[in-house]
Amino acid sequence: MIPHVPDHYCLARLTTREIAALEGDRVLVVLSVAAVEQHGPHLPIFTDAIIGEAVLSRALALREDDGRVWALPQQAYGKSNEHTGFPGTFALTAQTLAQTLREIGRSVHLSGLQRLLFLNSHGGNPEILDYVARDLRDEFGLLCFTAHPFRFGLARDIISDAEEGYGIHGGEAETSIMLAIAPELVHPEHYTVELPPVRTFMRRYTLKGPASFGWLTRDLSLSGTIGDPRGASAEKGRQLLELEAQLVAELMDEALALQLTPPTGERRA
Ligand SMILES: [Zn+2]
């Protein structure tokens, strides 16, 4: 059974009158942002969306149910042009995703709500979410947070060393989480291993890091997998999901607690 956000956290179930009655500064609206894209021969194209929803559901369950966190319907489509050329990739352009998020943020603001979190589960989205968050602060005064749980290195002690830095798509980590939450959608008989030998032709540039490049999956992989799913297990997936959910629960609390008090007084020349 794929986990879903429980009904009583779904903002979309409220009426306009109920939303108007929410205390805008005491409430955090969470938008899960994902992707619909090829995930190698063994995982469904909805993998990032399923994982995003599972992490959010579990994070909500870990927090005290204080009525202060509300989830919007998921933004399943993301910026996935790195996977064009593989059937099953349904990509928005950077511009369309940015515009969509901007308009959702504007609507959050117009609904009287002041805190928004973009909870991201796809590696191609962070730059877009980060700049839109700043624009929403500038244009509407919205406190807009972004979280990319997969960037916290939580998998480091759980997955195999060989995967570190390369198992970025359909590899051990993602496959493990899918085995934990939706094993019926995983096809181990189609596991493929592709670890692009980036270090053999470059010393400092990596696929993700302080020096990177605009790679496409088809530059690096024939199957669409970048990584090695063979070490994946449901147990590793449960551990990883729990770590991510704990992190996200804390990030939600921090986002609720932040009081930004801009400095006042005379500006020195
Ligand atoms: Zn993914």
Give the pLDDT score at 268.
77
Taking only the tens place, the pLDDT of each residue in 8-64 is 999 999 999 999 999 999 999 999 999 999 999 999 999 999 999 999 999 999 999
39 CA distance to ligand 1 middle (Å) = 6
86 CA distance to ligand 1 middle (Å) = 14
Cβ count within 10 A of residue 254: 13
Give the pLDDT score at 203.
83
Q: Residue 130: in which H helix or E strand, if any?
A: helix 126-140
d(CA 197, CA 253): 40
Give the pLDDT score at 250.
98
11 CA distance to ligand 1 middle (Å) = 26
**What separation in angstroms does the CA of 267 have from each of 121, 189, 219, 264?**
41, 66, 52, 8
166 CA distance to ligand 1 middle (Å) = 13
DSSP label of 215 = -
Give the rounded distance of the alpha carbon of 239 from its chain centre: 18
Q: Is there a contact between 123 and 208 (Cβ–Cβ < 8 Å)?
A: yes
Q: Is there a contact between 202 and 256 (Cβ–Cβ < 8 Å)?
A: no
pLDDT value at 262 more than 90: no
As a whole number, mean pLDDT of residues 81-88 equals 97
User: Sorting pLDDT into bands at 50, 70 and 90, what band is 209?
Assistant: confident
Q: What is the mean pLDDT of the chain?
A: 94
182 CA distance to ligand 1 middle (Å) = 14
Tell me how far apart the 2 most distant CA atoms of the chain are, in Å: 68
Taking only the tens place, the pLDDT of each residue in 136-152 is 999 999 999 999 999 99
Taking only the tens place, the pLDDT of each residue in 102-139 is 999 999 999 999 999 999 999 999 999 999 999 999 99
User: Sorting pLDDT into bands at 50, 70 and 90, what band is 186?
Assistant: very high
Q: What is the pTM (predicted TM-score) of this model? A: 0.95
262 CA distance to ligand 1 middle (Å) = 38
Q: Is there a contact between 50 and 28 (Cβ–Cβ < 8 Å)?
A: no
